[in-house]
Structure 1
Amino acid sequence: MSTPTIRKQKIKRTTVKTRLIIFGTLAVLLLIGSIFSSHLTPYDPYLQDLSNAKAAPSMEHLLGTDRYGRDMLSRVIIGSRTSIYSTLLLVAIITAFGTAIGVICGWFGKWIDVILMRISDMFLAFPGLVFALAVAGVLGGGLQNAIIALAAISWPKYARIARSQTLAQKETVYLRAAKLSGSSTIKIIFKHILPNIMGPILVTSMLDIGTMMMELAGLSFLGLGAKPPTAEWGSMMSDTRSLITIVPWVTLAPGIAIFISVMIFNLLGDTIRDYADPKNREVRS
């Protein structure tokens, strides 16, 4: 490989590392801010003051107040805990469940593989958000049921990735040697298979955080997620959508919070994918 090509790859690798540090730091700050959100709010996010309802943004209330006089900045900050950590819980559930199903199908095969993969095909046959709306509607709404509804439609992607990766690992020499040495199935799965297949799965889960946040906010916006007065960004937009032509800041504030959070996690996911790409690995001269 020529020296200019090696130099370009090194520069590209350095750029990816820089992006990883920047977006990783922003994501960590967002998570830390969500954890300590109750200590960062300038006002009580649930305190009503009808005499100050629909106040425009000012030095006293940077994002204005809603129809009940509640400080919008405080509600956006406290709403980050519900919105972000509900999303992370959802992604963790679908990653763990889908990976478990995929590994079982790839390792054992036969009728287990056929049945579970046909079930995943059934879930994939329906438009994702439409199916989630139906499931959430049947369960009766609420944040917990919204998470269950989205988890029900989102795990097949992880199952298929884990299955394909497991099938590839199953044919490797070192795994055959592990089986011949008498290692149990549980030991092989946890010691050999999972550590070698988690790369693509974790990259997929990082890329899914933004999507799941949008869909969770969408269900809340439609009344099938978090219920008022709980501060959750999608629910806050739904509760104030009738005021967007009169006092637009009460709707735009949570909307901008969703946009910024989704952008940070999407950029972080893209950067992690680039960092994990073998083509971007540093070439030593």
Structure 2
Amino acid sequence: MLYKTKIKGQDGYIYILMEHKSYIEGKVIFQLLRYITSIWEEKYDPKTKKVPIIIPIVIYHGREVWNVETNLSNMVQGIEDLPDELKTYLPTYRYEICDFSIKGKKRIIGLTATKVALEAMRAGNAMTEKEFKERLAIVFAYINQLPEEQVHEWFEGCMIYLLNVREDITIEDILKVQKEIMPGRGEIVMTIAEKLRNEGMEKGKLEERERFIEFIIEILNQRFGEDFDKSLEEKIRKANEETINQIKKNILSITLEELKELLK
């Protein structure tokens, strides 16, 4: 899944090339190279005969730790024995890897709301009960850092999301972790939990779906920023269950172009 953006540098634009992966891909370095050369062909300046700087980044959020080579020259057979004059004929570059896997050690940096969203995704993908509780504890710790007016909204959104994507957990499972991490939020949490326990009512189901969709919209807002406009928000709110499930399944890897295509 390809996403690219550009930032203003001292000598022009620097392009940030981001490839999202939910699985380990051994040939991703060649895939990125094709993207880079394609951008260079498009952005080649015939006057200066120059191409822009491109920084490739792989954002990975699968289950296992990323274990793929990030430097192209290290993949060339026998390169360590080649004389320097022959090495000059080989294309070489490296990409950055942001390993947000469940077993990865990398910290997520950025706005607290972004951390909440990404850690909720990690908790949703946790393979064991222990991993789930550990990830959920991180989610609640970040929620505790949010401004007071946002705590209720994000806690409710996370609960709805996790109850929708995991069939092996209950409201009570979530509340057990919450009591340890957010002991001073009991009244707010119990109010939300009571609402969710009434999900058997038709009105409750409808409200739950609406809250879940708003949580998805919030995550996409965090990912795409200003490019995620109001028209896309409205299309998501009006989308059918199949489309919502597709977005939910690929929420961390879907590109803006793919999202627009899905919502046509």
User: Same fold by TM (over 0.5)?
Assistant: no
- Greater RCO between the two (CA within 8 Å, min separation 6)? 1
TM-score for both structures, normalised by structure 2: 0.28
Bigger-Rg structure (1/2): 1
Between structures 1 and 2, the one with greater helix share: 1
TM-score for both structures, normalised by structure 1: 0.26
